């Protein structure tokens, strides 16, 4: 081993041998003269020949450290290869010609090319390990640039600058979605259902969770709206309704909401709703994931805790083994929601944050005190969510408002019937039995189905019925036919809900979407889920009309 040997690379046995040598040799070299008797006794003690003893003494005089007394390891010095110059050149050219391609060939392909070149020139072929070692020693940034493109190289190796930071509470809030690494069960038969989606928000200054929303559906503008609603409003009643005795002091309108570039974050309802309440929406630069680092780390922390629950899918397939997460699933969506709330307010908020070096709860107190102005609440808490719901502009006809090919009417519309201007009509995809019409003076009126005998339905059910009728070749669709189709589909689901997962999933979605009651003109208690439309043919509102 060279004088520059790495003491961490040797075995414990070799290291203990060097330690014993150091303990015996150091006292000797401190003497003016080493006697023959000292040499003989030390050689017997260490099991060395005289020539080896004098070699070790010379090394220790030059570098008086224990690692200098390690035995030499046979082979070339570290960093010096065994291959000839011609072999090295063959490997280098093969890496440039074969490995640095957008098809991303394997090391084996490079090795095969080197074997052919060496055979043609009468060289001894290097091993696969030797080729792999040369690939690993190559400039990683250049390899990624040639194999995956300049953008990928910039993402991996470019300097990380401009990460979002904040000086006070609710200055910047980041929101993002993730598919939870856990299977849930339905509330009736408690059979495996699916993995839910989680929408999560974080206050950048304090790392406090601002709010979250669990859904059976893929991310949508409505799930974003519900997460924002929980973020902004005080959470005391929400916690009490779930029997959680803990504080969650985060509430108030944020100055900035920082989002990625998902379609659900660019909807006009979210853009208009944020502008209505003085919230600035900012989007992270494309292909710059570090700009969303705070929310990404929070999601990772939450999923790390979820991995300890029965039914977890884990994030590493190889570590799962023969564990079947669906077989072990035990929690319903409501139970998972309560568990996550406890994990957030009882664990995450109280634990020391590695970046802040203090608990988010404590950081929140400091960040809230640092705000240059008081926290704002919506001027009308009951209307707040309505401002973020999707909307369309419609004329009020003499027979009411037409939306989705359905008619809505209430006597309050009589003065506006037949007017020239269009009004904003908002709707909740989870229950389209009532829409909300904004009057010219800013007031909002809940307008029900014109036919009060029609049942409450979700927008997803409406779209499924239209898609089914289209498949059957029905060109002229009236409202009664739509509701008749929906009724037939519901009966099929109820009959088969215990037999197939897809049917049970549809039943669970509908029960959650339509399970809340008490909608009135002044209060809209949104707490449930929305329907998923991702697997249906795209339809515009104009087509429904």
Calpha distance 38→478 (Å, rounded): 110
Question: If we measure between CA atoms, which residue out of 261, 253, 252, 292 comes closest to residue 165?
Answer: 292
Q: Radius of gyration over alpha carbons of the chain, in Å?
A: 34
pLDDT of 170: 94
Which helix (H) or strand (E) is 283 found in, with range? Answer: strand 280-283
- Classify 75 as helix, strand or coil: coil
For the stretch 28-54, pLDDT in tens is: 887 888 888 888 888 988 888 989 999
The per-residue pLDDT for 158 is 56
* Band (466; pLDDT cuts 50, 70, 90): confident
Distance CA 488, CA 338 (A): 35
Q: Bigger pLDDT: 467 or 446?
A: 446
Distance CA 170, CA 232 (A): 10
Percent of residues, the chain, with pLDDT higher than 70: 82
The whole-number pLDDT of residue 3 equals 47
User: 114 vs 157, which has greater pLDDT?
Assistant: 114
Output the pLDDT for position 232. 94
Q: What is the dihedral of CA 505, 507, 513, 515, to 10 degrees?
A: -130
Over 50: is that where the pLDDT of 372 sits? yes
Q: What tens digit of pLDDT does each residue of 48-104 get?
A: 898 999 999 898 888 888 888 888 655 444 444 578 888 998 999 999 999 998 888
- Does 439 or 517 have the greater pLDDT score? 439
Residue closest to 413 by CA, chosen among 427, 391, 397: 397
Name the β-bridge partners of 192. 185
Compute the C-alpha angle 375/377/382, nearest 5°: 170
Local structure of residue 123 (DSSP, 8 states): P
0.85 surpassed by pTM:
no
pLDDT surpasses 90 at 471: no
Looking at the DSSP bridge assignments, the partners of residue 214 are 198
Q: Smallest Cα–Cα separation from 448: which of 510, 403, 502, 394?
A: 403
Q: How far apart are CA 198 and CA 213, in angstroms?
A: 6
pLDDT at position 141 over 90: no
**Which stretch, 26-40, 342-356, 482-496, has highest mean pLDDT?**
342-356
Over residues 197-223, the mean pLDDT reads 90
β-bridge pairing 256-259 and 172-179 = parallel
pLDDT higher than 90, residue 174: yes
Task: Tell me the average pLDDT of the chain.
Answer: 81
Question: Where does the pLDDT of residue 147 fall: very low under 50, low under 70, confident under 90, or very high at 90 and above?
Answer: confident
């Amino acid at each position: 081993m060279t004088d520059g040997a790495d003491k961490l690379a040797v075995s414990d046995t070799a290291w203990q041998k060097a330690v014993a040598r150091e303990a015996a040799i150091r006292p000797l070299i401190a003497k003016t003269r080493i006697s023959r008797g000292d040499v003989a006794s030390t050689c017997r003690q260490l099991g060395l020949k005289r020539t080896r003893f004098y070699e070790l003494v010379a090394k220790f005089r030059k570098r008086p450290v224990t690692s200098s007394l390690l035995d030499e390891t046979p082979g070339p010095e570290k960093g010096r290869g065994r291959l000839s110059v011609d072999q090295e050149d063959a490997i280098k050219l093969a890496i440039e010609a074969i490995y640095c391609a957008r098809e991303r060939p394997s090391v084996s392909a490079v090795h095969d090319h080197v074997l052919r070149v060496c055979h043609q020139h009468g060289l001894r072929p290097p091993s696969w390990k030797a080729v792999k070692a040369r690939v690993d020693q190559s400039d990683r940034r250049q390899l990624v640039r040639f194999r995956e493109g300049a953008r990928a190289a910039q993402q991996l190796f470019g300097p990380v600058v401009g990460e979002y930071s904040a000086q006070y509470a609710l200055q910047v809030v980041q929101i993002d979605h993730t598919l939870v690494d856990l299977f849930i069960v339905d509330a009736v038969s408690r059979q495996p259902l699916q993995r839910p989606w989680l929408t999560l928000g974080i206050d950048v200054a304090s790392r406090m969770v601002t709010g979250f929303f669990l859904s059976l559906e893929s991310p949508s503008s409505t799930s974003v709206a519900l997460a924002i609603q929980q973020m902004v409003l005080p959470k005391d009643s929400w916690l009490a309704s779930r029997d959680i005795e803990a504080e969650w002091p985060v509430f108030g309108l944020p100055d900035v909401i920082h989002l990625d570039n998902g379609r659900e974050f660019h909807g006009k309802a979210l853009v208009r709703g944020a502008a209505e309440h003085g919230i600035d929406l900012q989007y992270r630069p494309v292909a710059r994931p570090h700009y969303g680092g705070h929310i990404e780390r929070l999601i990772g922390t939450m999923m790390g805790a979820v991995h300890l629950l029965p039914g977890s899918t884990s994030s590493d397939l190889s570590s799962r083994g023969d564990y079947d997460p669906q077989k072990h699933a035990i929690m319903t969506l409501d139970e998972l929601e309560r568990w996550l709330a406890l994990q957030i307010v009882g664990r995450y908020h109280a634990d020391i944050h590695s970046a802040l070096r203090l608990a988010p709860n404590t950081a929140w107190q400091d960040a809230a005190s640092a705000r240059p102005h008081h926290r704002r609440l919506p001027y009308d808490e009951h209307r707040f969510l309505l401002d973020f719901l999707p909307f369309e502009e419609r004329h009020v006809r003499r027979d009411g408002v037409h939306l989705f090919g359905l008619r809505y009417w209430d006597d309050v519309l009589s003065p506006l019937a037949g007017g020239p201007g269009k009004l904003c009509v908002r709707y909740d995809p989870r229950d389209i039995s009532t829409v909300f019409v904004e009057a010219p003076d800013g007031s909002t009126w809940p307008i029900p189905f014109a036919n009060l005998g029609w049942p409450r339905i979700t927008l997803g059910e409406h779209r499924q019925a239209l898609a089914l009728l289209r498949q059957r070749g029905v060109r002229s669709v009236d409202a009664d036919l739509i509701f008749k189709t929906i009724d037939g589909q519901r009966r099929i689901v109820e009959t088969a809900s215990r037999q197939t997962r897809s049917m049970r999933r549809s039943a669970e979605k509908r029960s959650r979407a339509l399970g809340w009651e008490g909608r009135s003109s002044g209060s809209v208690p949104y707490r449930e889920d929305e329907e998923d439309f991702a697997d249906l043919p795209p339809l515009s509102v104009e087509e429904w009309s």
